[in-house]
Amino acid sequence: MTNKKLYVWTTADKLALAPHTGELVVKIGDAFDTDSRVLGEGIDLSKREMLCTYNIGDRRDYDYHTEAERAIYDIRHLEHHVECETREAFAIPVNPKHPPYRWKQQIIELVDTIVDRVGGAPERVDFIPTTWQRRAVEFVASAWEQNKTTLLLELAARFGKTGTITQLFSYSDADVMVVANYVKTVNTSFGDTVVKHFSDQMVVLDTKDDKDFLTKFQAALDSGRKVLVTCSLFDSARLDRNIEAICEVPNRLIVVDEADFGAHTESNRKKVEKLREESPLILMTGTNADRAAASHQIDAHMSTTYFDMSLEAAM
């Protein structure tokens, strides 16, 4: 039996066009070696954005194209279209206001559904933590075992804070992790990390961008997947309502990312305290640990410098 792969990918220029067109053009095709196939189409690998890959045995991409053409998916097959020279291209509607990781998550969920109907299995890229990232996860786990629930992680630049915390969430029994910020914009790298390494385990939602947040939040929980929620703490009537819904989930983990930055107003601090009621709180910072911890009684503090990381990498 052959062991082909179905690959779904796009390019940097297509991602740049999506905010203007409201569509992201992706290729869905089969191959034994996706890199050689992409190179054969004249695409620079450095500009390719691989979205997802599936093991499909001896099936053909035609089977998946036929399924994708059904009206229930609401996507355009660009076969014989002036926009494309191959029948492997599809235009998928996306929200121009959302960041690219949201489009990627949407497309992965869409193609997962198509593959589930036709046959095949997703192939994910495992997240491999570094020595210092494993040490941080072990520190948090040890602190929790000692009932120390308010933690400060002072981690140097290039530590990989996003991957560390997402891996911790994956290992934990928490159903929801909220990543909050004291600034108006949230860290989209969490979404990128989930899409690349954890899309089969969890979904990313944003309390600001998702106007139907409550519906999506409950649907994700009902599906059995973990939910990573990104959240700007600035005042909003909808945010207060969303926080109430989040707090109904008993197994949750609260993280304040770049906790030394932004407006530490009384209103924002109250939102953090509301979110973390009877739940662990992790404050992450790479610089001003004193300001990050100013509003909290810290139970345990871990600090890792760039020099520490260099020493561990050399061992």
Domain residue extents for the chain: 4-123, 131-314
Give buried/exposed letters for 258-287 (b at 16+ CB in 10 A, else e). Answer: bbbbbebeeebeebbeebbeebbbbbbbbe
What one-character DSSP code corresponds to residue 286? S
**Per-residue pLDDT at 94:** 92
Q: Helix, strand, or coil here: 159? A: coil
**Per-residue pLDDT at 149:** 94
CA distance 285 to 245: 27
**Per-residue pLDDT at 23:** 93
The CATH number of the domain covering residues in 131-314: 3.40.50.300
Residue with tokens 């004193």: 290
Q: What is the 3-state secondary structure (H, E, C) of 19-42?
A: HHHCEEEEEEEEECCHHHHHHHCC
Q: What is the pTM of this model?
A: 0.76
Contact 236, 266 (CB under 8 A): no
**Per-residue pLDDT at 251:** 94
**Per-residue pLDDT at 127:** 81
What one-character DSSP code corresponds to residue 250? S
Low-confidence ranges of the chain (pLDDT < 50): 39-40, 80, 82-84
Give buried/exposed letters for 145-175 (b at 16+ CB in 10 A, else e). Answer: eeeebbbbbbbbeebbbbbbbbbbbbebebb
How far does CA 140 lie from the centroid of its chain?
21
**Per-residue pLDDT at 29:** 86
Q: Which residues contact 66 (CB under 8 A, 6 or more apart)?
A: none
**Per-residue pLDDT at 39:** 47
* CA Rg value for the chain: 21
Residue with tokens 């001003």: 288
